[in-house]
């Protein structure tokens, strides 16, 4: 019983944290500041969720004024919706705790489903493979416990849905993603062809699946980035491998198989991208992802950073664009309110991006994309993005040190100008998820605290961290191999969460420890609150999203396993879309780009 009470207290603690932030918000924004007696009643009502001593200490520190908490919450429709969604998630966690789950969402005696792949049953006698059936598989990979589990179910694999779209008529196609925690892939019926995507971090699992399916009589085809970088390693595990873009060669591969002429290796260049058929999303379990709309408009990038997989070997992914009409029709056809562009850099061609935004605007949907910071060279283009429904961008800042940028070969604005450009995006209602690489040769132990301070000072809504990782056959890999700095070639640890090389100014252990410490700080209540939006009406939606994304890994395990991911996230997506529609209507009426927030406190990066 004591153990179970501790588990309940852990889950209640998350809701208690959320309540404390609500109280702070009400006071700081002076919407209807709280009276001490009302706070005391709230503490009693939520007894067990907040430590009384901590709450009363908080009350005395705040010096709360007269007001009414209930009116404050009811006075903001979106606040109430967001609070309700978070509370519903917490209640779900409490109910599922009756299954005697521990705070991480697993039974104490069970392996963690986010860290260990599902067991594959021993091959047994089974029916022969069903003719003209294809199973497309995204293998399991362990999740970084420091980061959010939610990002792993953001969108489905576009590579696999694109293969499904290229499959000739007469074939039956199914999809299986082991990361949805539904167990090993199905064998009823045994598919004639199994297509498995291979990345270096889950190459070992892909090979296990390939052997398992071959033992049941299936033909196994492997493709993906690892086939591009290490084809000779991948080849022995498959009946055929595809190097490059598999979509244009997929119909020919299936025709060769039926003719008994399957080749061991197929090469496909990244060209004629606009001729690829649209993806087939009908094969997806719609409950499994935050949105089924993984979209792509362009291929390639104008940068060639030495650590990026796009710099693998002699591969040159030519920058190319689908027609705007194709992209808009693809997004419109799904019916989903939110889409994610998975392009390496949607902003590489600014005239194209402007044209795309103008065509997307009438859909009145919302979307996010990866761009480079130089898009902000043109404030009017940023405005066009906002009017088209862009609510978030993923930007690879990589570092706050210009020497690191130059050494990696990345063309980017100077680090000292980052904050101004971030403020421009935020002023247009576009949240920024900044990506940072840790462990460059100029990085010492001091950069971690400096980076965290800078992120909080610029109010960067979200940050993603990566330990510098020399992907095989990239310039960075070859340089570190020549310098004798690689520690091993266990691809499972080349996941940007482990140090696989000797850094120049710290030990590998220091790099890993400070990487984890950055996530702990940036996912803390204090840091989430420090980075809240300046616009008061956006604060509580931001907090709800931040809690669900950053402080609910135990809950994510349950949402994914019990097929609740899409159901829980969809109301928040609709709320975000409604709020953004009103914002862009105001922006359109204003007729010009809003100014960045005045009085921005900027910590200047090291240059």
CB 147 within 8 A of CB 128: no
Give the integer Cα–Cα distance in Å for 286 and 52. 43
According to CATH, the superfamily of the domain at 285-590 is tm_1862 like domain (3.80.30.20)
- Which helix H or strand E contains 392, and what residues bound it? strand 390-398
Q: Which two tokens stand for residue 113?
A: 């489903």
Predicted confidence at residue 155, as pLDDT, reads 92
Give the integer Cα–Cα distance in Å for 17 and 22. 9
pLDDT one-digit tens code per residue, 462-520: 999 999 999 988 888 999 999 999 999 999 999 999 999 999 999 999 999 999 999 99
Q: What is the mean pLDDT of the chain?
A: 80
Q: Which two tokens stand for residue 395?
A: 């930007």
Give the integer Cα–Cα distance in Å for 457 and 603. 7
pLDDT one-digit tens code per residue, 149-162: 988 999 999 999 99
Instruction: Work out the pLDDT band at 410, boundaries 50, 70, 90.
Output: confident
CB 389 within 8 A of CB 367: yes
What would the 3-class secondary structure string for 84-123 be? HHHHHHHHHHHHHHHHCCCCCCCCCCCCCCCCCCCCCCCC
Q: DSSP assignment, residue 484?
A: T
CB 250 within 8 A of CB 167: yes
| Range among 28-42, 328-342, 592-606 rated most confident | 328-342
Lowest mean pLDDT among 82-96, 241-255, 293-307, 380-394: 82-96
Q: DSSP assignment, residue 487?
A: -
pLDDT one-digit tens code per residue, 209-266: 999 999 999 999 999 989 988 999 999 999 999 998 899 999 999 999 999 999 999 9
What strands, in cross-sheet order, belong to the sheet with 294-295?
294-295, 338-341, 366-371, 390-398, 431-438, 462-467
Picking from 518, 499, 498, the residue whose alpha carbon sits closest to that of residue 507 is 499
Predicted confidence at residue 272, as pLDDT, reads 67
Do you know the residue count of the chain? Answer: 607
CB 194 within 8 A of CB 201: no
| Range among 41-50, 117-126, 268-277, 309-318 rated most confident | 117-126
Arithmetic mean of pLDDT, 311-323:
70
Q: Which two tokens stand for residue 20?
A: 């404390």
Lowest mean pLDDT among 48-62, 77-91, 107-121, 222-236: 48-62
Picking from 360, 384, 429, the residue whose alpha carbon sits closest to that of residue 588 is 384
Picking from 498, 453, 391, 432, the residue whose alpha carbon sits closest to that of residue 604 is 453
pLDDT one-digit tens code per residue, 168-214: 999 999 999 999 999 999 998 999 999 999 999 999 999 999 999 99
Q: Map residue 173 onto helix, strand or coil.
A: strand
* Long-range contacts of residues 324-329, Cβ cutoff 8 Å, at least 24 apart: 324/297, 324/352, 324/355, 324/356, 324/359, 325/359, 326/274, 326/278, 327/295, 327/297, 327/356, 327/359, 327/360, 328/356, 328/359, 328/360, 328/363, 329/278
Arithmetic mean of pLDDT, 354-368:
97
Instruction: Work out the pLDDT band at 40, boundaries 50, 70, 90.
Output: very low
* CA distance to 88, 527, 566, per residue, from 543 (Å): 15, 11, 19
Whether residue 26 is predicted with pLDDT greater than 80 in this model: the reply is: no
Higher pLDDT, residue 348 or 4: 348
Give me the residue label for tokens 């932030």.
21
Higher pLDDT, residue 269 or 70: 269
Predicted confidence at residue 305, as pLDDT, reads 65
Whether residue 95 is predicted with pLDDT greater than 50 in this model: the reply is: no
Predicted confidence at residue 210, as pLDDT, reads 98
Residues 6+ apart with CB under 8 A from 161: 175, 279, 280, 281, 283, 284, 294
Picking from 455, 343, 479, 462, the residue whose alpha carbon sits closest to that of residue 399 is 455
Q: Point out which residues pair with 135 in neighbouring strands.
A: 174, 194
On whether the pTM is more than 0.95, the answer is: no
Give the integer Cα–Cα distance in Å for 569 and 89. 10
Instruction: Work out the pLDDT band at 551, boundaries 50, 70, 90.
Output: confident
Predicted confidence at residue 315, as pLDDT, reads 56
Lowest mean pLDDT among 67-81, 108-122, 158-172, 354-368: 67-81
Predicted confidence at residue 307, as pLDDT, reads 62
Whether residue 532 is predicted with pLDDT greater than 70 in this model: the reply is: yes
Q: How many Cβ atoms from other residues are within 10 Å of residue 24's Cβ?
A: 15
Predicted confidence at residue 311, as pLDDT, reads 55
Q: Which two tokens stand for residue 81?
A: 């919706």
Give the integer Cα–Cα distance in Å for 155 and 140. 15
Please state the domain extents for the chain.
2-99, 130-274, 285-590
CB 379 within 8 A of CB 593: yes
Whether residue 575 is predicted with pLDDT greater than 60 in this model: the reply is: yes
Whether residue 435 is predicted with pLDDT greater than 50 in this model: the reply is: yes
Q: How many Cβ atoms from other residues are within 10 Å of residue 356's Cβ?
A: 25
CB 176 within 8 A of CB 138: yes
Instruction: Work out the pLDDT band at 5, boundaries 50, 70, 90.
Output: very low
What strands, in cross-sheet order, belong to the sheet with 191-197?
172-177, 130-138, 191-197, 219-223, 240-244, 265-268
Give the integer Cα–Cα distance in Å for 344 and 394. 10
Give the integer Cα–Cα distance in Å for 583 and 577. 10
Predicted confidence at residue 312, as pLDDT, reads 60
Picking from 467, 420, 449, 437, the residue whose alpha carbon sits closest to that of residue 598 is 420
Give the integer Cα–Cα distance in Å for 486 and 204. 20
Percentage of residues in the chain having pLDDT higher than 90? 56
CATH class of 130-274: alpha beta
Lowest mean pLDDT among 85-94, 234-243, 580-589: 85-94
Give the integer Cα–Cα distance in Å for 331 and 549. 25
Give the integer Cα–Cα distance in Å for 286 and 569. 12
Give the integer Cα–Cα distance in Å for 3 and 317. 55
- Strand ranges (E), 289-441: 294-295, 298-299, 320-321, 338-341, 366-371, 390-398, 431-438
Q: Which two tokens stand for residue 466?
A: 């990566």
Predicted confidence at residue 97, as pLDDT, reads 39
Q: Which two tokens stand for residue 240?
A: 């055929």
Angle between helix axes 553-561 and 77-96 (nearest 10 degrees) is 70
């Amino acid at each position: 019983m004591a153990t179970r009470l501790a588990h309940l207290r852990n889950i209640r603690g998350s809701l208690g944290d959320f309540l404390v932030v609500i109280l702070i918000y009400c006071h700081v924004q002076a919407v209807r500041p709280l009276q001490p007696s009302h706070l005391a009643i709230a503490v009693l009502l939520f007894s067990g969720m907040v430590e009384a001593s901590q709450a009363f200490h908080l009350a005395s520190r705040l010096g709360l004024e007269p007001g009414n908490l209930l009116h404050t919450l009811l006075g903001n429709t979106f606040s109430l919706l967001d609070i309700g969604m978070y509370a519903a998630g917490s209640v779900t966690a409490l109910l599922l705790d009756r299954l005697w789950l521990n705070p991480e969402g697993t039974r104490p005696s069970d392996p963690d489903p986010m860290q260990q792949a599902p067991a594959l049953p021993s091959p047994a006698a089974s029916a022969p493979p069903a003719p003209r059936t294809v199973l497309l598989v995204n293998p399991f990979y362990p999740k970084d416990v420091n980061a959010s589990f939610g990002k792993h179910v953001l969108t489905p694999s576009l590579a696999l849905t694109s293969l499904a779209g290229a499959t000739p008529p007469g074939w039956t196609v199914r999809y299986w993603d082991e990361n949805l925690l539904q167990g090993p892939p199905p064998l009823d019926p045994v598919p004639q062809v199994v297509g498995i995507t291979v990345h270096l971090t889950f190459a070992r699992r892909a090979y296990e699946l390939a052997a398992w399916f071959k033992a049941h009589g299936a033909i196994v085809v492997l493709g993906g980035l690892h086939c591009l970088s290490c084809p000779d390693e991948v080849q022995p595990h498959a009946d055929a491998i595809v190097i490059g873009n598999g979509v244009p060669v997929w119909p020919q591969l299936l025709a060769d198989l039926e003719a008994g002429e399957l080749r061991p290796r197929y090469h496909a260049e990244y060209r004629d991208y606009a001729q690829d058929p649209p993806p087939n999303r009908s094969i997806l379990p719609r409950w499994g992802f935050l949105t089924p709309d993984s979209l792509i408009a362009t291929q390639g990038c104008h940068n060639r950073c030495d650590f990026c997989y796009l710099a693998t070997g002699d591969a040159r992914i030519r920058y190319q664009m689908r027609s705007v009409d194709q992209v808009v029709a693809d997004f419109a056809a799904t019916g989903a309110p939110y889409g994610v562009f998975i392009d390496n850099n949607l902003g590489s061609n600014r005239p194209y991006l402007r044209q795309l935004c103008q065509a997307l605007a009438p859909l009145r949907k919302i979307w996010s994309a990866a761009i480079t910071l130089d898009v902000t060279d043109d404030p009017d283009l940023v405005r066009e993005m906002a009017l088209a429904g862009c609510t978030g961008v993923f930007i690879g800042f990589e570092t706050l040190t210009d020497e690191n940028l130059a050494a990696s070969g990345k063309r980017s604005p100077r680090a000292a100008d980052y904050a101004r450009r971030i403020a421009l995006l935020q002023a247009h209602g576009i949240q920024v998820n900044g990506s940072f690489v840790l462990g460059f040769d100029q990085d010492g132990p001091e950069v971690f605290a400096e980076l965290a301070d800078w992120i909080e000072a610029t109010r960067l809504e979200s940050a993603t961290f990566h330990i510098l990782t020399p992907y095989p056959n990239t310039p960075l890999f070859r340089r570190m191999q020549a310098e004798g700095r690689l520690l091993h070639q266990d691809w499972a640890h080349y996941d940007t969460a482990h140090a696989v090389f000797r850094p120049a100014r710290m030990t590998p252990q220091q790099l890993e420890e400070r990487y984890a410490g950055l996530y702990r700080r940036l996912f803390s209540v204090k840091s989430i609150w420090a980075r809240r939006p300046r616009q008061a009406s956006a604060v509580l939606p931001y907090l709800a999203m931040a809690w669900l994304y950053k402080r609910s890994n135990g809950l994510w395990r349950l949402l994914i396993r019990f097929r609740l991911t899409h159901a829980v996230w969809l109301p928040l997506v609709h709320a975000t879309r409604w709020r953004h529609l009103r914002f862009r209507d105001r922006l359109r009426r204003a007729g010009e780009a809003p100014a960045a927030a005045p009085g921005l406190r900027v910590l200047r990066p090291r240059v």
